[in-house]
Structure 1
Amino acid sequence: MDKRVVITGLGVVSPNGTDLAQFRHAIRNGISGIRHDPQLEKLLFSCQIAGKPVIDDERLQQYFSPLELRGLQSTGIVYGVIAGMDAWKNAGLEPAAPDGTPYWECGSVFGTGTSGIDKFREAIYKVDDLQIRKLGSTVVAQTMNSGVSAYLSGKLGLGNQISTNSSACATGVESILMAYERIKSGKATLMLAGSTSDSGAYIWGGFDAMKICPYQYNDQPEKGCRPMSASARGFVPGSGAGAVVLETLESALGRGARIYAEVLGGHVNSGGQRGSGTMTAPNNEGVQRCITMAIKEAGIGSGDIDVINGHLTATSKDVTEIRNWAAAMARQGGAFPYINSLKGMIGHCISAAGSIESVASVLQLSEGFISPNINCEDLHPAIAQLVDPKRIPTACMEHDFNILAKASFGFGDINACIIFKKYQHG
């Protein structure tokens, strides 16, 4: 039943681009979406910068009815619906007719970390004040984690598996792999996959309390997130959503769809919080095993990987991640693949990170370029010992390549790695 699976649609809502054209321009040109956040300053956060997409009312009205917009406070649902519907349209697909039948062979796996925290807070206050009847009829749909998948299913008429996964920072890559497996096993023809993350103080406050977000760049927001840099001081929080449409190669060719890339396979695992692994730190053996198993399941060798889009959050763990890549692939110095991190431009978008970065990865693979590592002019010396600095470009490179590995590593010592391949026509 194994089938080849390709990507035919892309959608994104990112701090540096809220549609595919804006995002493509930004990642090619190293444009940051990280800004000063007045709310974080007012609340006396130590880190007062963040990556937050800006969606105006006119744009919202293209995706939501006036009734849906009434009381809609879940930014995660907003970002996810826009990215998901844009990916569907980008794939040349239309929603099922409102009075017709669902697309029985089409489903969705769309992940999130939380949903509707602001709405949930409002509801708690109303319950405390005995105003239960004033909660509103959408409070459940906005605060259940599966809300984003439910909204997308209803808007598009999807009749296959409709699921929401949640695996911290690994959520986005995991969602794409889950959708890939559904298609490859013959249980679906087409799947919409991705992930989303709410924005705001209630999401980011915990990270600020952990003192893992930088305060040194509050007056220079665009310089704040510095993956692989010697002057990195922690990750900058971000939010948004990314989405991809996956389908069988047979289906894509049959309807004449544009094919961005092929998914060769991947792997998801956990380090079990044993050895070096904890709630917030990776078990290095688990990370290396995830990478080597992804390579094996993709049917390639480690020497076939041309480019890596890393997790690389601008913390002390960047050095650890590079060491794990080098060990897993047995490649160092000039033999190490080109590697980049999108987080310098958008921050760490938590549960949306893997999906937004996967969209960026597929664009790079499809169009033959490697996005720059901004804010990495002072490469960490421990990384420079493992990787030829020329393999860590600080300016956009026009470079045709064949295979890209994308990985995300999350809280809870969980890992996900996916292998994308340039699609060869004919």
Structure 2
Amino acid sequence: MTSAREVVVTGLGATTPLGGDVASTWEAALAGVSGARTLENDWAEKYGIPVTFAATIKVNPAEVLSRPETKRMDPSAQYAVVATREAWADAGSPEVDGDRLGAVVSSGIGGIQTILDGWDTLRERGARRMLPMTVPMLMPNSPAAYVSLELGARAGTHAQVSACASGAEAVGYAVDMIRSGRADVVVAGGTEAAIHPMPLGAFAASRTLSLRNDDPQRASRPYDVDRDGFVLGEGAAVLVLESAEHAAARGARVYAKVSGVGLSSDAYHITSPDPEGTGQVAAMRFAIQDAGVTPADIVHVNAHATSTKVGDLTETASIRKLFGPDADHVQLSATKSMTGHLLGGAGAIESLFAVKAVSERLAPPTINVDNPDPELQVPLVRDEPYKLPGGDIAAINNSFGFGGHNVALVIQNH
């Protein structure tokens, strides 16, 4: 049953491999720009890592935050705070009682750089040389905590951890907070800062990373027959969610509404999706039912689409299974082809992209698809943005994570 308390998006913020804010990130996405870059370090040679590139953050947070702030925050929290400040300003810096303001900012891995750097310091220089702020920096809830401190959010501060579905689940939880009456405004999103030799080496060992070292910008190629894995990315995205009543009372500008949330789990395998797509279908079905729409109303899907052999086609088969003939008019975008895979931040930036797509009626392109997989079962937006239709439209953002986590969000024009 659809909740009577409508949830709208009034602010957007981001810092990504494509740009240091929403405007530059969205412009680059529409232009089909890749954020993948060759790493300027000796990790490959020093540690035997077979991957020499990643989608690194475009703008160093030190250019935005003060030195004391960067000293006490892990990069994952730095990115979240940068995105939050933009989103809050974009929403008009609303005056809201802190008891009615929530924060839900997730990370799939948390302060991995702090953990690993802290261990190096302990091993090489001893406990006396460790940073006193090490524990609050490494906590997975650290980004959410800093966002709550930034805004004085006291209605609840949460950090869902569901691997690559974390950012989208954060948005879904924020919707529930507003619908249930716990909060009038919730700042929600995801962040990740895991470009470090250990995560790179570990993902490479699992054979999930692309090895196109000679051509990083063309490495992430969802749905192409020659795809060979994802590109590790970093960054954060944050949405300001608000009850429609609260937004209207203060005359806020509204981008779109988040009208449906669907959650499920595969209970199949720790890393591989259920090949039948049962959980993915369920998450999308729940979201569509929650929104009070039908598959015929969905005109766009921002796909999870990481560029792995199995995952990409499982998702499109799931869409076809649920939508049937209605899948023929769904325009599919795989924006990880440009941003890389932000892990816990992926669902947040892709939710933001879905909001922008619905509000501007432009589906961003998928790049690097030179030879589409013949098993692709949904129309794919390639190379150029696709103009979405007028009238009332709806989009889905899919986010799936290791462990079998499935999240689908329905976003509609307002």
TM-score normalised to the size of structure 2?
0.93
Identity across aligned pairs (percent)?
A: 29
Is 1:327 aligned to residue 328 of structure 2?
no
Q: Partner letter of residue 396 of structure 2? A: A
Q: Which residue of 1 aligns with 2:255?
A: 260
**Distance in 2 between the 1:321 and 1:58 partners?**
38
Q: Structure 1, residues 316-336: CA drift from partner, whole Å, max 9, x if none?
A: 121121111100112367x24
Q: Which residue of 2 aligns with 1:214?
A: 210
Q: Structure 1, residues 137-163: CA drift from partner, whole Å, max 9, x if none?
A: 311211111111111111111111111
Name which of structure 1's ranges 121-130 and 241-250 shifts more when overlaid on structure 2. 121-130
Q: Which residue of 2 aligns with 1:340?
A: 333
**Distance in 2 between the 1:396 and 1:279 partners?**
35
Write out aligned runs for 1:10-49 (5 A). 10-39=12-41, 40-42=43-45, 43-49=47-53
Write out aligned runs for 1:273-288 (5 A). 273=268, 278-283=269-274, 284-288=277-281
Q: Which residue of 2 aligns with 1:396?
A: 385
Q: Which residue of 2 aligns with 1:67?
A: 68
Q: Which of 389, 411, 414 is the aligned partner of 2:402?
A: 411
Q: Which residue of 2 aligns with 1:53?
A: 57
Q: CA deviation at 1:23?
A: 0.7
**Distance in 2 between the 1:180 and 1:295 partners?**
15
Q: Decide whether the 8 Å contact of 2:112 with 2:194 is kept in 1.
A: no
Determine helix, strand or coil for the equivalent of 2:99: coil
Q: Partner letter of residue 248 of structure 2? A: L
Q: CA deviation at 1:261?
A: 0.3
Q: Partner letter of residue 204 of structure 2? A: D
Write out aligned runs for 1:182-331 (5 A). 182-200=177-195, 201-215=197-211, 217-273=212-268, 278-283=269-274, 284-316=277-309, 317-331=311-325
Unmatched tracts of structure 2, length 5 or more: none
Q: Partner letter of residue 216 of structure 2? A: P
Q: Decide whether the 8 Å contact of 2:113 with 2:194 is kept in 1.
A: no
Q: Which residue of 2 aligns with 1:99?
A: none
Q: CA deviation at 1:91?
A: 0.6
Write out aligned runs for 1:369-380 (5 A). 369-380=362-373
Q: Which residue of 1 aligns with 2:126?
A: 131
Q: CA deviation at 1:27?
A: 1.1
Q: Structure 1, residues 370-396: CA drift from partner, whole Å, max 9, x if none?
A: 11111113111111xx335xx433311
Determine helix, strand or coil for the equivalent of 1:381: coil
Q: Partner letter of residue 18 of structure 2? A: N
Q: Partner letter of residue 401 of structure 2? A: G
Change (3 A) 1:364 1:221: same
CA RMSD of aligned residues (A): 1.9
**Distance in 2 between the 1:129 and 1:224 partners?**
37
Change (3 A) 1:130 1:373: closer
Determine helix, strand or coil for the equivalent of 2:325: coil
Determine helix, strand or coil for the equivalent of 1:306: strand
Q: Structure 1, residues 256-302: CA drift from partner, whole Å, max 9, x if none?
A: 111000111111110112xxxx1111222111111111111111111
Write out aligned runs for 1:109-148 (5 A). 109-128=104-123, 131-148=126-143
Q: Partner letter of residue 77 of structure 1? A: A
Q: Decide whether the 8 Å contact of 2:299 with 2:388 is kept in 1.
A: no
**Distance in 1 between the 2:166 and 2:360 partners?**
25
Q: CA deviation at 1:8?
A: 0.3
Change (3 A) 1:8 1:71: closer
Determine helix, strand or coil for the equivalent of 1:331: helix
Q: Decide whether the 8 Å contact of 2:61 with 2:78 is kept in 1.
A: no
Aligned length: 404
Q: Partner letter of residue 146 of structure 2? A: Y
Determine helix, strand or coil for the equivalent of 1:10: strand
Q: Which of 151, 162, 168 is the aligned partner of 1:156?
A: 151
TM-score normalised to the size of structure 1?
0.90
Q: Which residue of 1 aligns with 2:82?
A: 82
Q: Partner letter of residue 59 of structure 1? A: E
Name which of structure 1's ranges 287-296 and 112-121 shifts more when overlaid on structure 2. 112-121
**Distance in 1 between the 2:98 and 2:326 partners?**
47
